[in-house]
Amino acid sequence: MKRIPVGIIDSVDASHEGIRTVELMNRRCDFSDSSDVCVSIITWNMNGQVRYEDVRKLVGKERKYELVVIGLQEVPRANILVLLENALLDSHV
């Protein structure tokens, strides 16, 4: 497995402070020649806040992954499952 340098990019248009994304130097799923599966692993401390736009940005149809794994902390009482299903509907469900 190759080591890939990552950069942390602050999201300027996030709905609340604390959202950060990690970018693989603009190289998505082209760094492995031993697998045909592209995986995205996301951990998100929601700090009790969520907007559909934030969820869509993380897992929406512009993301091209075969498997999306999401770990959530401090999830608000709003129905996060419905938000995720709506964001993933066109591309993954």
Closest CA to 58 of 11, 5, 4: 11
Per-residue confidence (pLDDT) for residue 70, from 0 to 100: 83
> What average pLDDT score do residues 52-80 get?
77
Q: What is the pTM of this model?
A: 0.54
- Spatial distance between the Cα atoms of 35 and 47, rounded to a whole number of angstroms: 35
Of the pLDDT bands very low, low, confident and very high (cuts 50, 70, 90), residue 32 is low
Per-residue confidence (pLDDT) for residue 23, from 0 to 100: 58
